[in-house]
Amino acid sequence: MPYLLALVLSIFTLTGCQSAYYSAMEQVGYHKRDIMVDRVEEAKESQQDAQQEFTSALEALSALTNFDGGELETVYNQINDKYQDSEKAAEDVRARIAAIEDVSEALFEEWQDELELYSSAKLRRSSEQKLRDTKASYKTMLNAMTRAEEKMTPVLNTLRDNTLYLKHNLNANAIGSLQGEFSSLEKDIQFAITQMNAAIAESDKFLQQLNQK
């Protein structure tokens, strides 16, 4: 609960009074472009964290399928912790993507408006082209991030189902039932990680292009 409250507050902070926030940041020399770079970096890091949590959850379930005795409730607690960590990591990814969308909207709107300030037609055309290129690169990156985020949901649902089933059936029969789902879950997690790697690569590409502007 404290985590969810902090997440809600952070999202409100990012989206509730953004124009005033951006204005205040610009007063101290921290512009929308700088904020975007930071948020893309943070989103990339959150995806890397999510990869680690998903992999850790998969490893915990893998150990469960080879369970050969001992305290099953202890194993359940470990798996539940991994699931909770994975869910938090996924929520962080979603919040970071929302933050990027917010600052990008403000940045591109400002850029578009400022095109009217040019007196040189040549410089304006050049700036318009850079705006189009940046928007296209941004869209590619955002689509990659969104695809990766969407792949997290079915994985989390399966992790939750497996965790709940184990909780409700702390016996050897439960392990036998979960073994049948493990290979499917493993494929889903590996595919989600592949999507995250693609999104991370697009983030790096976008940042490189943005830093050349």
Please determine, for residue 59, whether its predicted confidence score (pLDDT) is greater than 50. Answer: yes
Residue 8 lies in a domain: no
Structure tokens belonging to residue 31: 């512009």
162 is in which domain, residue-wise? 32-211
Residue 2 lies in a domain: no
Please determine, for residue 195, whether its predicted confidence score (pLDDT) is greater than 60. Answer: yes
Please determine, for residue 199, whether its predicted confidence score (pLDDT) is greater than 80. Answer: yes
Dihedral sign from CA coordinates of 23, 28, 31, 35: negative
Residue 16 lies in a domain: no
User: Which CATH number goes with the domain that contains 161?
Assistant: 1.20.120
Residue 15 lies in a domain: no
Number of domains, the chain: 1
**pLDDT reported for residue 68:** 64
Residue 1 lies in a domain: no
The overall average pLDDT reported for the chain is 85
Residue 120 lies in a domain: yes
Please determine, for residue 37, whether its predicted confidence score (pLDDT) is greater than 70. Answer: yes
**pLDDT reported for residue 28:** 80
Q: How far apart are CA 164 and CA 95, in angstroms?
A: 26
**pLDDT reported for residue 41:** 95
Residue 26 lies in a domain: no
Residue 154 lies in a domain: yes
C-alpha triplet 155, 158, 162: angle, nearest 5°: 140
**pLDDT reported for residue 213:** 57
117 band by pLDDT with thresholds 50, 70 and 90: very high
